[in-house]
Each structure stands twice: as C-alpha cells, then as structure tokens.
C-alpha cells in the first residue's frame, strides 16, 4: 500500500465526514479546505473557518486530521487554522463598505447590563483575533468610555473622525459629543443625525463585527440604525425575572417590525455563585431568557452571573474578560461571544447558500 500515492480528490472525499456542528454541512462543501498540498503521502492544508471565535475550532481541526490520517499510506498531516468572517449581504448595499456585520444590542429597559454585555462581548471577540468596533449609541447614558477606560477624544482623519482604540476595540461613543443631560431634550432628527455621522463619517476601516450599544427601549436611535444600514441581527439582553419577558418583548417587537432578525438573547445577572461552595443562588429569579427563547424561537446565547467583580472591572475601565480572565463571569462572556459569532456565521452562510443550486451532504 505504501507506494500508492494519495491524490487530492481522495483527501477531499475523506474530509467530507467532518461536519461543522453549527452550520450542519461538511467542511468541503462549506469551502473551508484551502491550499491542499499532497507530496509523497504527506498532506497539508488550511481550514478557513467563518470566525476566529469559532467555538469548535480545535475539534474541527482534530477531526480533519484524523479523517486524513485514516487514509492508507499517509505519513504526515498538517492542518493550520485561519478565519475569514463572512459578510452580511452584499457589501455594496452598506453605507459602511468595510464592515461585514453590524450587531445592535438592545433591551426593553435600562440597567439590565446592556453596556456591560456589549463591551465584554466586543473585547472577547477582539481577543480571538477578529477586528471589532463598538458604537455606543446610548445618548441618554453613554457608559462605554468608562467601561473601557477611555479618556481620549476621537481625532479627526479619514472620512471625518478616527475611532478611539481601547483594549483592541475601535470605539465611538455618544459620550464623546454630548452630555447625557443635553441629550434628554434631543429631538428625533438630532438623534438621527448623530447616528448617521457615526455610520458615515467615522473611519472604521475593515471590521468583522460592529457591536452597537443602543439606548434602552424603542426610539429614534433604533429606528435610524435599522433603516439606514442592513443589520446582521440583534442581540437582546434581559435579566432573569419571569416578568423580563414582557419588558424584553418591547425591544423584540420593535426589531421584528423593523425587519431586523434576532440573533439571540443573553441573560445577565443570571445567578450568583458562591466561591466556596459553588452553589448558585437565583437572586433575581430565573427563566427569563428561556421563556423569551421559547416564545420567540431565538437561542439563548449565554447566561452571565451576577458578580461584584463584573461591576468593579467595568468601573475601573478594564472589562472582566481581561481584568479577571478565566473567572466564571469572564468565561461566561467568552462563551457567549463565541455563541454569538457562531449565530452570525450560521445566518451569513444560510444567506449565501440560498442562492446556490443544490448541495449534497
Ligand atoms: N453581571 C453583572 N454582575 C454585577 N454587576 C453587573 C453585571 N452586569 C452589569 N452590572 C452592573 O450593573 C450596572 C448597570 O449595567 P449597565 O451595563 O450600565 O446596564 P445598561 O447599559 O443596561 O443600563 C452597572 O453598574 C454594571 O457594572
Ligand atoms: Mg448602558
């Protein structure tokens, strides 16, 4: 057997057994296998995933290696991983051409941790190697500069202004331009103008993900954002109280009306976990996100514990995913970021393949 030469076709065939668990298709059909080289039964290739935040990237690599190794006569297999984030829709439609995905983060009311979640998810995505922007559009309570420890103002440049870089994320905040007590009396057209400037006059550059921290509730900011640019999908942040459904529902209904799909729901302040016993206490009740998920058929992307360290890290300007990496709350945020990235990939792959003829898998 040893002198028979394996060819590329045989290798691709063997790799078809490896199925991406989120996208439900094999890695060959998905076009993940790149730069396949075979020489003297030594094989090397690239797996180009749809996000560097892929929750199962190590499993996929191992399965791909194993599948090729099983072929007769193979002497060595080398698999390298890379990622190319897929874009939401044709970028020509986008008024910000370099931005592949825009993800608004909304909630029915304030104080549920929308900004904390937005900031930690953005930083967690950037930590995986993705290029990430964060637009703080909460004119009534812009807290992103505090959470990310930003003291600088944006400088002028490019199309108008350059975002401020913090913890690997490009940031523009309403807080750079307005005092919250001013914004309370802003009328719709002024809010709309600010959002349009954030979209059209900020030199975002190439971004895989632009996370948008929206004001709570439903209003002109949400309306402008949804009407001006194609959005990949919204993330809803809720707390665990059973009544949270009614509150989060306002935001969900708004996104539905504005034809913005829902990527999922995050339950913040979900539980408190004792450091000594590991026991969980459900201080604010439980079931909020699950109820929303069931009623609106959206996935729960994560449940974040209530932890003093989350607040302390935010107040000190270094989000917990960096400040206490590896802590239960940080891990919950990182896992949530990966689930979010997976949902984005699922949507974009589905949209891409809707135009395809037929694929056998
Ligand atoms: N999981 C959490 N554990 C502890 N404190 C939290 C958590 N999430 C948010 N907080 C704190 O709750 C307050 C409100 O959070 P914030 O993100 O500003 O909410 P929102 O943007 O929805 O108004 C902040 O002081 C924040 O630090
Ligand atoms: Mg906020």
Which pLDDT score is estimated for 352?
Answer: 78
Question: Could you tell me the pTM of the whole model?
Answer: 0.92
pLDDT reading at 360 higher than 80 = no
14 CA to centre of ligand 1 in angstroms: 48
Of 32, 59, 83, the residue that ends a domain is 83
Q: Are 77 and 196 members of one domain?
A: no
Average pLDDT value over all residues in the chain? 91
Task: Find the range with the poorest average confidence among 164-168, 184-188, 234-238, 309-313.
Answer: 184-188
DSSP tag of 179: -
Confidence band of 187 (pLDDT split at 50, 70, 90): confident
Does residue 338 sit within a domain? Answer: yes
360 domain residue, yes or no: no
- 43 with 177, same domain: the answer is no
Please tell me the number of the ligand nearest to residue 217's CA.
Answer: 1
The pairs formed by 322-329 with CB atoms below 8 angstroms and a separation of 24 or more are 322/123, 322/127, 322/167, 328/273, 329/304, 329/305
Residues 30 and 106 in one domain: no
In a domain, 3, yes or no: no
Closest ligand by atom to 117 CA: 1
Instruction: Please identify, by atom number, the ligand 1 atom nearest to the C-alpha of residue 143.
Output: 18
What is the Cα–Cα distance from 96 to 92, expressed in whole angstroms? 9
For residue 253, is pLDDT > 90? yes
User: Nearest bound ligand to CA 110?
Assistant: 1
Cα separation, 296 vs 89, whole angstroms? 24
What's the CATH number where 296 sits?
3.40.50.300
Which atom of ligand 1 lies at the shortest distance from residue 109's CA? 22
Q: What is the pLDDT of residue 357?
A: 34
Name the residue of 104, 113, 321 whose CB sits within 8 Å of the most ligand 1 atoms, as the mutation to test its pocket.
Answer: 113
In a domain, 37, yes or no: yes
Which ligand 1 atom is nearest residue 237's CA?
22
Least confident of 89-93, 138-142, 196-200, 333-337: 89-93
Q: What is the best residue among 107, 116, 148, 336 to mutate for testing ligand 1's pocket, by most ligand atoms within 8 Å of CB?
A: 116
Does residue 358 form part of some domain?
no
For residue 270, the CA-to-ligand 2 centroid distance in Å is 18
DSSP secondary structure letters along 24-77 = TEETTTTT-EEEEEEETTEEEEEEEES-TT-TTHHHHHHHHHHHHHTSTT--EE
User: pLDDT by residue (tens digit) across 35-78?
Assistant: 999 998 899 999 999 999 999 999 999 999 999 999 999 999 99
pLDDT score, position 4: 59
Please check whether residue 1 lies inside any domain of the structure: no
**Range of the structural domain that residue 79 is part of:** 8-83
Shared domain check, 348 and 287: yes
What does the pLDDT average to over 276-301? Answer: 92
The answer to whether position 140 is within a domain reads yes
Do residue 295 and residue 348 come from a single domain?
A: yes
The stretch 216-228 carries a mean pLDDT of 89
Confidence grade of residue 87 (pLDDT, cut at 50, 70, 90) = confident
The CATH number of residue 42's host domain is 3.30.300.130
Strands 102-106 and 234-238: parallel
Same domain for 142 and 59: no
Domain end point (choices 34, 60, 83): 83
List ligand 1's pocket residues with C-beta within 6 A: 107, 110-116, 143, 268-269, 304, 306-307, 310-311, 314
Ligand 1 geometric centre to CA of 256 (Å): 26
Is residue 359 assigned to a domain? no
Res 3 pLDDT > 60: no
pLDDT digits (tens, 9 = 90+) for 103-119: 999 999 999 999 999 99
């Amino acid at each position: 057997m040893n002198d028979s030469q394996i060819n590329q076709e045989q290798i691709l065939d063997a790799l078809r057994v490896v199925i991406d668990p989120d996208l439900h298709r094999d890695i060959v059909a998905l076009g993940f296998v790149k730069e396949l080289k075979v020489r003297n039964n030594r094989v090397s290739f690239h797996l180009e995933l749809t996000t560097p935040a892929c929750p199962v990237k190590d499993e996929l690599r191992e399965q791909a290696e194993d599948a090729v190794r099983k072929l007769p006569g193979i002497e060595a297999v080398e698999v390298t991983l890379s990622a190319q984030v897929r874009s939401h829709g044709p970028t020509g439609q986008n008024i910000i051409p370099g931005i592949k995905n825009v993800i608004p983060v909304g909630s029915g009311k304030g104080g549920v941790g929308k900004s904390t979640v937005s900031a930690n998810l953005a930083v967690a995505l950037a930590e995986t190697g993705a290029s990430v922007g964060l637009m703080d559009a909460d004119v009534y309570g812009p807290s992103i500069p505090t959470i990310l420890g930003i003291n600088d103002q944006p400088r002028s440049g490019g199309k108008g202004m350059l975002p401020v870089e913090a913890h690997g994320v490009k940031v523009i905040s309403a807080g750079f331009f307005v005092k919250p007590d001013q914004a309370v009396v802003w009328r719709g057209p002024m809010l709309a103008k600010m959002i349009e400037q954030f979209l059209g006059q900020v030199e975002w550059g190439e971004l895989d993900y632009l996370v948008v921290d929206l004001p709570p509730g439903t209003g002109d900011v949400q309306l402008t954002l949804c009407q001006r640019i194609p959005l990949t999908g919204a993330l809803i942040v809720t707390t665990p109280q059973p009544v949270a459904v009614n509150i989060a529902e306002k935001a969900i209904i708004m996104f539905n009306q504005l034809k913005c799909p829902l990527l999922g729901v995050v339950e913040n302040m979900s539980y408190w976990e004792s450091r000594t016993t590991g026991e969980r206490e459900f201080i604010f009740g439980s079931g909020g996100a699950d109820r929303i998920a069931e009623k609106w058929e959206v996935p729960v992307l994560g449940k974040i514990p209530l932890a003093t360290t989350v607040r302390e890290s935010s107040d000190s300007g270094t989000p917990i995913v960096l400040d206490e990496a590896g802590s239960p709350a940080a891990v919950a945020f990182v896992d949530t970021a990966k689930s979010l990235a997976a949902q984005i990939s699922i949507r974009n792959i589905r949209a891409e393949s809707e135009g395809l003829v037929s694929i056998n898998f």
